[in-house]
Amino acid sequence: MRAKPAVVKGAPRSNSEPILKVSNIETYYGPIAAIRGVSFDVSRGGIVTILGANGAGKSTVLKTIFGLTDPRKGSVTFEGRKVQGMDPDKVMRLGISLVPEGREVFPFLSVRENLDMGAYTRRDVDGTAHDLAAVFEYFPVLKERAGSLSGGEQQMLAISRALMSRPRLMLLDEPSLGLSPKLVKEIFGIIVRINRERGVTILLVEQNANMALQVADFGYVLEVGRIVTAGSSERLLQSDDISISVSRNKALVAATAGSGARPGVESHQPRPSGASRRPWARLRLA
């Protein structure tokens, strides 16, 4: 068994009915197909990761599940109920939360007010207070922090806000983006604790393949809107498929850039200055 300093293995995959089933979804932005016939399952209680380079369509998959974009084709089933086409607030009330790329915390609200926004649909005062205490136990710096937050603290707050809705499935969109390696390890360790201690199923989208596969049970590789590889985290860590897929995806992105076509939704989204030069912001195994 390989050593994993700072992060530990997530909960094992179960043989029960998947908590989430995505079947042949196709999502477009105008005439541009961002994801094309994507299908996958997420087992209850596990951690599943979707890997891919910038432009592969990873964020669109999460947005489609959460109701931020509607698929033109296919279905999304959560706990046996079709949720594609639902408004995001209804999806959230069913038990799905989203930690978006870029955190998207409310900058003019305090830490406590941001957390209250995560729990705005709840009426169980005692349960909300219990979850608030748990959030501060996971991220004690948030209890003491006042004023502006660093990038790492914003990511902690975004995860905490999503937890305050008491989800059964949490969608995380590139939680390592723009963070130092030390902070990435700390946050991924908390993600594993949330999965183990609270039983929250995790669907994690990442470019940092090494870290994602260390905590995940199963992984899918997305290339220009299609799943091209799938397998256990152990197999994917030892496979050359990921590096080959990423190289091919980058070549396709470069080939279409000059024509103005966009091979995937993320390809037109700006990233923080210098992010492409950071080794942990790329999909890689080194």
Kindly indicate the confidence band of residue 16, based on its pLDDT and cuts at 50, 70 and 90: low
pTM for this one?
0.78
DSSP-derived pairing of the beta strands 169-173 and 73-78: unpaired
User: In this predicted model, what pLDDT tens digit does every residue of 97-116 receive, in sequence order?
Assistant: 999 887 678 777 888 888 88
Q: What is the mean pLDDT of residues 242-256?
A: 46
Q: What percent of the chain has pLDDT over 90?
A: 49
- Could you tell me if 171 and 203 are in contact, meaning their C-beta atoms sit under 8 angstroms apart? yes
Q: CA distances (Å), 269 to each of 14, 34, 54, 179, 264, in order?
A: 36, 13, 9, 18, 10
Integer Cα distance of 141 and 196 in angstroms: 22
What one-letter code names the amino acid at 52?
G
Q: What are phi and psi of 267, to 5 degrees?
A: -65, -20
CA 7 centroid distance within chain: 17
What is the average pLDDT score of the chain?
80
What one-letter code names the amino acid at 94?
L
* DSSP category for residue 220: E
What one-letter code names the amino acid at 73?
K
User: In this predicted model, what pLDDT tens digit does every residue of 186-205 receive, in sequence order?
Assistant: 999 999 999 999 999 999 99
